Amino acid sequence: MDYKASGVDIDAGNETVRRIRSLARGTFTPGVLSDIGSFGGLFRLDQDRFQEPVLVSSADGVGTKLKVAFMTGRHDTVGADLVNHCVNDILVQGAEPLFFLDYLATGRLSPSVAEQVVAGVARGCRENGCALIGGETAEMPGFYADGEYDIAGFIVGVVEKSRVIDGRSIAPGDALVGLPSTGLHTNGYSLARRVFFEEAGWKVDTLVPELGATIGDALLAPHRSYLSTVRPLLDRQLVKGLAHITGGGITENLPRVLPEGCAARIDLGSWTVPPVFRLLQQRGGVAREEMFRAFNMGVGLVVVCAAADRERVCDMAAAAGGSAAVRLGAIVGGDRTVRYA
Evaluate whether the domain defined by 175-340 bears CATH number 3.40.50.20.
Answer: no
Distance, in Å, from the CA atom of 72 to the CA atom of 65, rounded to the nearest integer, reads 11
- Please name every residue paired with 302 in a beta bridge, in sequence order, or none if there are none: 178, 243
**216 close to 252: Cβ distance less than 8 angstroms:** no
> What does the pLDDT look like over 15-26, one tens digit per residue?
888 888 999 999
Distance, in Å, from the CA atom of 227 to the CA atom of 320, rounded to the nearest integer, reads 10
Order across the sheet with 299-305: list the strands: 241-244, 299-305, 175-180, 326-333, 262-266, 338-340
Query: 310-321 and 227-235 helices cross at what angle (nearest 10)?
Result: 140
Our separate counts of H helices and E strands in the chain read: 11, 12
| Whole-Å CA distances, 240 to 15, 259, 261 | 48, 11, 15
Provide the pLDDT for residue 3.
65
Domains 4-163 and 175-340 share a fold: no
Domain parsing of the chain, residue ranges:
4-163, 175-340
Please state the separation of Cα 322 from the chain's center in Å: 18
Amino acid at 74: R
Structural fold of domain 4-163: 60s Ribosomal Protein L30; Chain: A; (3.30.1330)
**132 close to 27: Cβ distance less than 8 angstroms:** yes
**56 close to 95: Cβ distance less than 8 angstroms:** yes
- Environment class of 333 (CB within 10 Å of its CB; exposed 0-12, middle 13-18, buried 19+): exposed
Share of the chain above pLDDT 90, in %: 91
> What does the pLDDT look like over 29-70, one tens digit per residue?
999 999 988 899 999 999 899 999 999 999 999 999 999 999
Distance, in Å, from the CA atom of 101 to the CA atom of 132, rounded to the nearest integer, reads 6
> What does the pLDDT look like over 168-193, one tens digit per residue?
999 999 999 999 999 999 999 999 99
Distance, in Å, from the CA atom of 288 to the CA atom of 16, rounded to the nearest integer, reads 45
Share of the chain above pLDDT 70, in %: 99
Instruction: Name the pTM for this structure.
Output: 0.95
| Predicted confidence (pLDDT) at residue 338 exceeds the cutoff of 70 | yes
| Predicted confidence (pLDDT) at residue 75 exceeds the cutoff of 90 | yes
Provide the pLDDT for residue 14.
83
